[in-house]
Structure 1
Amino acid sequence: MHLLGWKSYDAGQQGLAQRYYLQSYALAVESGITGHDGFVMRAMAMQGLKLHRPEHCLGLAETGLNHAKGKVDAQTESLFRVVHAHTLAKAGQRTAARAEAERASALLTADPGDEVPFWALAWGPPAASVYSRNAKVYETLGDYRTAAEHYGRAAGARPAGTYARIVALDLVAGAEMQLKRGQIEQACTTWNRALDHMDGVRSVRTRKAVARMRGDLARFRARGVRCAAELDERAIDFLASA
């Protein structure tokens, strides 16, 4: 059910995704597996953040964390804490968000404790997920330099062959942070890397990311910036084939 929820989310069918997540939550509760129900709450909080509905996300993230902290291994707990950090940032609690983001990062190098459960490995190495979500924390806080660094770490922490779509999306987000800092050439380089990883990927989110990229590049194409014009041509070809 959790996988069906994610697939619906990626396809842009948010209502269907939410229904699958609710069914996944019921099954997780029934299973009695420590932390699993909280992990579904974590996913629902992330969906709410993506849909710009933060008002319910903080409660979901806090409850999910409370179901897991002290009961799961360090890396898994870091996955809960980093989503909690993002909801804190969206709620305007800047100091608390930074502190929680730092705790999530610290847990990655702490004594690992028990083995990471299978359900916490759904999106690849926990470190990659923590880097990616921490990037969103710093992006929300307006620290685009640190956000770009974390997106880069996230992209490098996943096996690209297995997680091409997620790696591509992290690179896209990193390029957007570079652009916010006025680094158009660096952003174009990163976007080109993202397109490399999108080869063969079929995803609504990647298509939307490339379309958004074209919009971001428009003003630079108008100024005659060569890297922007060349990248836009590549984006047009990608969208035509996708």
Structure 2
Amino acid sequence: MSYTLDVYYHRDGTHLEFPDPLLQAVATRFVRMAKLGPVTLQQTQDQSRFPGFRARNVAQTNTALDAAVDAVLELPTRAPLPMDSPAVNRTPVYVEASPYTSWGRDHLVKACVDAGHTVVVPERFTASDPVAGALVDLTAARSSARLLADVSGPETPPGTALLIGAALASGVRIAAYQPRPTYTHAHGREPNWRNLMIQYACEAHPEDDEAVLSWLNA
């Protein structure tokens, strides 16, 4: 996994490399590179900012790519990832909220519980040990009968995307909830479900509570 790293701290002082501790829990190695180069020249109106950006940052980009490739080549044939824990219980619905939404993190949870479904919610954002909580979330998402992920916002949160991939590999049924989908500029203006991984991993793309409950009862 390659990523631009900053430093984050949990409320108890735990040092995190990512805002979502799930990424730290599954990453086997971190490659830390220098920040982007500062602007050094005044830009005139007839100049494009893109060539200047490339010139300032091509060295860091090439170094980061080389370091990432070297890290991949040095991996063992079979890495002991936390994904290897067996999936067992197939009863609850794992609900992953979006941090970008304004309608409340418990919206989907309430809708599912009100309809009589047993729900599991993430622990990693409230656990005293966020990395341990992230591994609990990973196991729960992989062992649940269904994963309901809210992908609303400017992008699908990286941790949510990771859970979708892990759930798919574990045979979990997945739905991506997005009540306000954006649209592509392709012929017919198809709804944009973030990226191909999410589009093809999810068997349903509900846009409202009624569609969510219909999928849960199917």
Q: TM-score by structure 1 length?
A: 0.25
Q: TM-score by structure 2 length?
A: 0.27
Structure with max Cα Rg: 2
Query: Hey, which of these two has a bigger chunk of strand by percent?
Result: 2
